[in-house]
Amino acid sequence: MNIDSGFQDRLGLFYSGLSSPGEHGFDNKNDLYGLILSLYEERIRNRDVIIAADGILNQLPFELLSDSKGSYVLENTNLSYTNSVALLLNTGKRTSPSKYKVLAFAPEYDNYDGSDKQIRGDDLTALNWTANEINGIKSYFDVMTMTGDNATKDMFKDNQKKYSIVHFAGHGIVDDKDPMKSRLAFSSLEDSNDSPYLFTQELLGMEIENDLEVLSACKSRLGEIINGKGTLSLDRSFIYAGTKRVVMSYWQVDDQSTSQLMQSFYQNLKSGMTKSEALRQAKLEFLETAPPEKQHPFYWGAFVVIGDDSPLFTKSYHIRVFLSVFLVFSLILWLTGDLRKSK
Helix, strand, coil shares of the chain, percent, nearest 5, are: 45, 20, 35
* Cβ neighbourhood burial of 178 (10 Å; 0-12, 13-18, 19+): exposed
Instruction: Please compute Rg for the chain using Cα positions.
Output: 21
Does residue 144 sit in helix, strand or coil?
strand
pTM here is: 0.83
pLDDT at 10 over 80: yes
For residues 137-147, give the mean pLDDT. 95
pLDDT at 316 over 50: no
How many other C-beta atoms lie within 10 A of the C-beta of residue 315? 9
- State the pLDDT at residue 222: 53
For residues 299-320, give the mean pLDDT. 75
Q: How far is CA 132 from CA 125, 137, 337, in A?
A: 17, 9, 43
pLDDT at 228 over 50: no
Burial letters for 140-154: b for 16+ Cβ neighbours within 10 Å, e otherwise? bbebebbbeebbbbe
* Cβ neighbourhood burial of 180 (10 Å; 0-12, 13-18, 19+): middle
- State the pLDDT at residue 341: 53
CA gap 183, 290 in Å, rounded = 31
pLDDT at 303 over 70: yes
- Under a CB-based contact definition with an 8 Å cutoff, are residues 132 and 147 in contact? no
Position 77 confidence tier, pLDDT thresholds 50, 70, 90: very high
Quote the distance between the C-alpha of residue 41 and its chain's center. 26
Quote the distance between the C-alpha of residue 33 and its chain's center. 24
pLDDT at 229 over 50: no
Position 118 confidence tier, pLDDT thresholds 50, 70, 90: low
CA gap 218, 307 in Å, rounded = 19
- State the pLDDT at residue 335: 47
CA gap 260, 267 in Å, rounded = 11
